[in-house]
């Protein structure tokens, strides 16, 4: 292919190139490893989003045998990039983002034909998957930081607590979940917000994507802003058990950030992407922000403080609180 320029990738095995001439620009997504998820499923989920009037990259052409897709170019303006520069009036963008999230959660489609004419069925985000993801903390972070004998005992206790927390989730698993819904995967495209990196979508708990957005390890935000976003979402829901939702939001935030610490350690150790290590301290802060003075996390708090003393820090500017109205 001619006129290709490599562009910054993400945490996956995909590589991205911009194909550009005088009149037209597109993105080449190349993935030899995990190409079922990174190419076939990615496009299938995008088709579901587009069908439901959510802006996602359109497929121009595919060559699955040669491990690539050519898709719509959304440019370079991620919401992360915009908010990193624009410290005032950030709620302007979050209002648009919550509108997109509500549209995603309204999706009723559970299957679609992929570009190979096979039916793709969106999987369920069950507790087994949730537990397995949280246990990446043991598999990578604890393995790196702890001696083997001490780690065996820690892993047993950790997995027991994770199972207990996942069993304490109250809401039904019946909503479309992007599963990586944060400002680095949202882009400003002609004054509209587009959604990328959707290949991990599942049918699961409606609190998950909001937790991913609010407790985003990549973008540091004050608890004042976190509360404003949370309140905005709550106030836009017609039927919602606020007590159950708050419970699930907190649990899923903690489990997600434990998973993220594990994944970022894996990226550094296995894939030599050491730049992800600098995000781990803020992930610890986000966990601390949720489990501090919260009785359902008492066992987890004790276990983490015993084994990773000083990691859980109180770095956020203001205390998280739940807005009831």
Q: How far is CA 77 from CA 82, 104, 198, 220, in A?
A: 7, 21, 17, 18
Residue 293 domain flag: yes
HEC states along the chain?
CCCEEEECCCCCCCEEEEEECCCCEEEEEECCCCHHHHHHHHHHHHHHHHHCCCCCCCEEEEEHHHCEEEEECCCCCEHHHHHHHCCCCCHHHHHHHHHHHHHHHCCCCCEEECCCCCEEECCECCHHHHHHHHCHHHHHHHHHHCCHHHHHHHHHHHHHHHHHHHHCCCCCCCEEECCCCCHHHEEEECCEEEECCCCCCEEECCHHHHHHHHCCCCCCCCHHHHHHHHHHHHHCCCCCCHHHHHHHHHHHHHHHHHHHHHHHHHHHHCCCCHHHHHHHHHHHHHHHHHHCCCHHHHHHHHHHHHHCCCCCCCCCCCCCCCCCC
Q: Are 112 and 189 members of one domain?
A: yes
Q: Total structural domains in the chain?
A: 2
Q: Which domain holds residue 9?
A: 4-72
196 domain-assigned: yes
In a domain? residue 229: yes
Boundary (domain end) residue, out of 40, 72, 104: 72
Q: Are residues 177 and 193 in the same domain?
A: yes
- pLDDT band of residue 310 (cuts 50, 70, 90) is confident
My answer on whether 39 and 58 are in the same domain is: yes
Asked whether residue 93 falls in the same domain as residue 185, the answer is yes
pTM over 0.85, yes/no? yes
The CATH number of the domain holding residue 68 is 3.30.200
Q: Is residue 323 part of a domain?
A: no
Of 72, 97, 128, which residue constitutes the final position of a domain?
Answer: 72
| Res. 309 pLDDT band, cuts 50 70 90 | confident
**pLDDT, mean of residues 8-35:** 87
Q: pLDDT at residue 2 above 70?
A: no
Whether 58 and 104 share a structural domain? no
Mean pLDDT of 94-111: 98
* 286 shares a domain with 212: yes
Does 111 have pLDDT greater than 70?
A: yes
Region 290-315 average pLDDT: 88
Q: How confident is the model at residue 162 (pLDDT cuts 50, 70, 90)?
A: very high
Q: Is residue 255 part of a domain?
A: yes
**What does the pLDDT look like over 167-212, one tens digit per residue?**
999 999 999 999 999 999 999 999 999 999 999 999 999 999 999 9
Q: Is the pLDDT of residue 271 over 50?
A: yes
Does residue 98 lie in a domain region? yes
The pLDDT confidence band at residue 312, using thresholds 50, 70 and 90, is confident
Give the angle subtended at the CA of 227 by the CAs of 319 and 99, to the nearest 5°.
160
**Residue-level pLDDT at 293:** 81
84 & 68 share domain = no
Tell me: do 57 and 196 sit in the same domain.
no
Asked whether residue 51 falls in the same domain as residue 193, the answer is: no
Does some domain include residue 179? Answer: yes
Statement: residue 11 has pLDDT above 80:
no
Per the domain annotation, does 33 fall within a domain?
Answer: yes
Does residue 33 sit in the same domain as residue 174? no
Residues 135 and 256 in one domain: yes
pLDDT of 323 over the 60 cut: no
Question: CATH number, domain at 265?
Answer: 3.90.1200.10
Q: Across residues 60-87, what is the average pLDDT?
A: 94
297 and 172 together in one domain: yes
């Amino acid at each position: 292919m001619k006129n290709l320029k490599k562009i910054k990738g993400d945490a996956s095995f995909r590589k991205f190139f911009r194909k550009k001439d005088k009149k037209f620009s597109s993105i080449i997504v190349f993935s030899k490893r995990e190409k079922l998820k990174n190419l076939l499923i990615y496009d299938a989920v995008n088709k579901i989003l587009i069908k439901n009037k959510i802006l996602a990259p359109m497929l121009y052409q595919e060559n699955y045998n040669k491990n690539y897709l050519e898709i719509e170019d959304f440019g370079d303006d991620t919401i992360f990039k915009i908010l990193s520069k624009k410290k005032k009036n950030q709620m302007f963008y979050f209002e648009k983002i919550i509108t997109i999230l509500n549209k995603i959660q309204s999706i009723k489609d559970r299957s679609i034909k992929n570009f190979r004419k096979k039916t793709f069925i969106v999987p369920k985000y069950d507790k087994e998957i949730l537990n397995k993801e949280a246990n990446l903390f043991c598999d990578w972070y604890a393995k790196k930081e702890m001696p083997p004998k001490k780690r065996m005992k820690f892993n047993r206790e950790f997995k027991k607590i994770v199972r207990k927390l996942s069993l304490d989730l109250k809401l039904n698993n019946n909503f479309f979940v992007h599963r990586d819904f944060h400002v680095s995967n949202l882009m400003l495209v002609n004054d509209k917000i587009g959604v990328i990196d959707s290949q991990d979508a599942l049918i699961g708990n409606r609190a998950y994507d909001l937790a991913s957005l609010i407790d985003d390890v990549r973008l540091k935000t004050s608890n004042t802003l976190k509360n404003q976003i949370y309140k905005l979402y709550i106030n836009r829901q017609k039927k919602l058990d606020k007590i159950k939702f708050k419970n699930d939001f907190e649990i899923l935030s903690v489990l997600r950030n434990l998973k993220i610490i594990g994944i970022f350690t894996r990226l550094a150790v296995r894939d030599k992407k050491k730049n992800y290590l600098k995000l781990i301290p803020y992930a610890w802060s986000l966990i601390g922000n949720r489990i501090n003075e919260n009785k359902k996390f008492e066992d987890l708090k004790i276990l983490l403080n015993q084994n990773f003393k000083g990691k859980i820090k109180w770095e956020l500017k203001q205390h998280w609180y739940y807005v009831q109205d």
